[in-house]
Structure 1
Amino acid sequence: MPATEHLPARHVHDLLLHDSPEELVEVGLPFLRAGLEAGEAVLLATSDTSSRLLTDALGGGDDVLVLPRGEVYRTRTPAALTTVRRMVGERITAGAPRVRVLAEIDFGPTPRDWLEWQRYEAVVNEALAPLPLWGLCAYGTTRLPDELITTGLQTHPHLYTAAGRRDNPDFVEPATYLRALPVPTEPLEHGEPLLHVEDVREFSGLRRAVAAVLAGLGGDADLLEDLHLAIDEMSSNAVRHGGPPVTLRLWAGPDRVVCRISDGGAGMDSPFAGYGPAHGEDLSRGGMGLWLARQLCDHVDVIDDGGGLTVRLTTSLH
């Protein structure tokens, strides 16, 4: 399929696999040029090396906006979604019929970091669906581990190659992919918690108890304040929307804090929960707790084991 073929005015999520910077340029350049010729807004959110190669090949100029990759992909994933929505909205308002983005996700250094962005790659298929956005995600096969290449193949409906665009036979429906991702183990949970509340009913006392434990850890005050707010939101959610008993346990190690909040309710069916306010832009209707927690904490794991719902919050101390 040629790069100029008309596509519907909704999110298109394609994968570009490459084994060298030269191949990235070979495949990505026609994609960018076709967008410019169609009057579309064109953005790069790639590594510095890739951005330089692509802009040099395009001959410079101001037609392509180069975004520092860290501004998009080293924020937490709900913030990244908000950034993408804002950028697309601004450019559509300015008159562009569509926005094209060529991007290289920074998955981070560890498998625990990878998981948040593996989730992101599946979630965007649902969360960005209404937007006139054509995203082309570039995965370097010699740079990324096999596990992440598999992620790319399972989360992008189409492949984009030098020969054109085609259906991806390895694509997995986003909800199915998200439900199949493993919940990582947390070694701190095998130790004695610093705080254990067996039946949460009264919030003012819980807030004071959590604050006292966090204050004694000596970590970054802003990070701990964010975690405290996330714990408050998730505890309130569990009491209001889950079933009793609501339990809270909190552990700390040299580098991180972990808080596990469980209820005895019916659980949560949607794997997309918490990647935007539950009621869209109408924040007065609530539904922001999990969305806020995902922005306030490094990692948020939602565990539905059939016996209630557990939300595990993890934040670094420094």
Structure 2
Amino acid sequence: MTVAATDFHHPALLYSGSTEYLTAVSGFVRCAVDDGDPVLIAVPGRNLELVRDALADLGDRVGFADMAVTGRNPGHIIPGVLLRFAAGHPGRRVSIVGEPIWPDRSPMEYPACAAHEALINAAFAGRDAAILCPYDVERLDPAVVEDAWSTHPTMIENGVLRDSDRYADPVVTAAAFNQPLPPPPPDADSLVYRDALSAVRSFVRRTAAAHLTEVRTEELVLAASEVAANTVEHTTGRGRVTVWAEPDMVVCQFEDSGHLTDPLAGRIMPPDIGHCGFGLVLANELCDLVRIHSVPAGTTIRLQKLR
């Protein structure tokens, strides 16, 4: 299969072991560098160390980011990693290695990861870019690898690039991961609000402060305030915020009667600061995980902040 230089190219790399991984990623990166593309490698932990060592001779022609840090929240990857890198090189084709799904991802994170992979195709439609997404077929659940065939237009398997026979409309595919969230603990504290955002901020701050540092508490408070503001500005009913602590995180969940119809809300920067999507972009920036479930009857948004 031949890919035109001006196409958006988004293959999934199905790899087994570090040797196959390094061969494929290094080949992709070196070809991109030879073509004059700005290159970013955003992969987690150990894989980052492997590719950094293997490509040390390329110096500052390649940028690196730990996806387990900058992409901890899957909803932050498109606006805060991919589009931010592309925006830093206007008028140029960019090439990115992005590995957003790794074996240590939790079941709560995975639907947001899979939706992210589908929505890359919508966010980058018409852009001059290539994004290679590695999948560890030895360590990932087979169902995760199966999903990659529906979220990527092309696949690299056993070193061969070919069209995916299961790739579908990215918005339709992402909608399949718009899944209900588990209920909060029965003893979790809640607050019903309509207009008083100050009351929401005080409520979240009071609960979170016992479990998070001051800085992380205020980040959660700001994210919560932005989500609550969407209820006030874009719905006619009341909202409910529920906050509770788990062993490794604080969770803040919002429920209201609104219906979020834009699949890219929170994943691309809206045209102006007054747009409802701006608050979700900020929440994705500030939180370690943002999960959204939205249907015509209402929307649930769950914010998580690690301790």
The two structures have a TM-score, normalised by structure 1, of 0.80
Retained in 2: the 8 A contact 1:14–1:135? Answer: yes
Match of 1:171 among 158, 167, 178: 167
Q: Secondary structure at the match of 2:242?
A: strand
In 1, the alpha carbon distance for the partners of 2:301 and 2:161 equals: 39
Residue 184 of structure 1, CA deviation = 5.8
Q: Secondary structure at the match of 2:297?
A: coil
1:141/1:64 CA distance change after superposition, 3 Å = farther
In 1, the alpha carbon distance for the partners of 2:36 and 2:248 equals: 48
Does 2:105 match 1:112? no
1:214/1:175 CA distance change after superposition, 3 Å = same
Instruction: Provide, for residues 170-216 of structure 1, a one-character-per-residue CA deviation record: whole Å limited to 9, x for no partner.
Output: 213221222111636436x131232332x52333334333333333x
Map of 1:252 onto structure 2: 245
In 2, the alpha carbon distance for the partners of 1:163 and 1:219 equals: 46
1:208/1:163 CA distance change after superposition, 3 Å = closer
Match of 1:309 among 278, 288, 299: 299
* Greater Cα shift, 255-264 or 229-238: 255-264
Match of 1:235 among 228, 236, 240: 228
Letter in structure 1 aligned against 2:196: E
Instruction: Provide, for residues 42-91 of structure 1, a one-character-per-residue CA deviation record: whole Å limited to 9, x for no partner.
Output: 443341464157538xxx34375151434775443354333322333334
* Greater Cα shift, 292-301 or 235-244: 292-301
1:40/1:298 CA distance change after superposition, 3 Å = closer
Letter in structure 1 aligned against 2:97: L
Q: Which is higher, the Rg of structure 1 or of structure 2?
A: 1
1:229/1:286 CA distance change after superposition, 3 Å = same
Identity %: 25
Query: How do 1:122-133 residues align onto structure 2 when only pairs under 5 Å count?
Result: 122-133=118-129
In 2, the alpha carbon distance for the partners of 1:249 and 1:134 equals: 40
Map of 2:14 onto structure 1: 17
1:162/1:294 CA distance change after superposition, 3 Å = same
Map of 1:208 onto structure 2: 202
Residue 19 of structure 1, CA deviation = 1.9
In 2, the alpha carbon distance for the partners of 1:133 and 1:72 equals: 23
Map of 2:281 onto structure 1: 291
Map of 1:261 onto structure 2: 254
Map of 1:193 onto structure 2: 188
Letter in structure 2 aligned against 1:85: L
Map of 1:273 onto structure 2: 265
- For structure 2, the 5+ residue unaligned runs are none
In 1, the alpha carbon distance for the partners of 2:23 and 2:262 equals: 39
Map of 2:88 onto structure 1: 90
Does 2:133 match 1:140? no
In 1, the alpha carbon distance for the partners of 2:177 and 2:125 equals: 22
- Cα RMSD for the two superposed structures: 3.0
1:208/1:104 CA distance change after superposition, 3 Å = closer
- For structure 1, the 5+ residue unaligned runs are none
Q: Secondary structure at the match of 2:198?
A: helix
Letter in structure 2 aligned against 1:127: A
Does 2:177 match 1:181? yes
Residue 157 of structure 1, CA deviation = 0.6
Retained in 1: the 8 A contact 2:265–2:277? Answer: no
Q: Secondary structure at the match of 2:55?
A: helix
Q: Secondary structure at the match of 1:230?
A: helix
Map of 1:55 onto structure 2: 55
- Number of residues of Structure 1 aligned to a counterpart in Structure 2: 302
Q: Secondary structure at the match of 1:100?
A: strand
Letter in structure 2 aligned against 1:233: E
In 1, the alpha carbon distance for the partners of 2:105 and 2:159 equals: 33
In 2, the alpha carbon distance for the partners of 1:278 and 1:23 equals: 39
Residue 133 of structure 1, CA deviation = 1.1
In 1, the alpha carbon distance for the partners of 2:251 and 2:29 equals: 43
Residue 155 of structure 1, CA deviation = 1.0
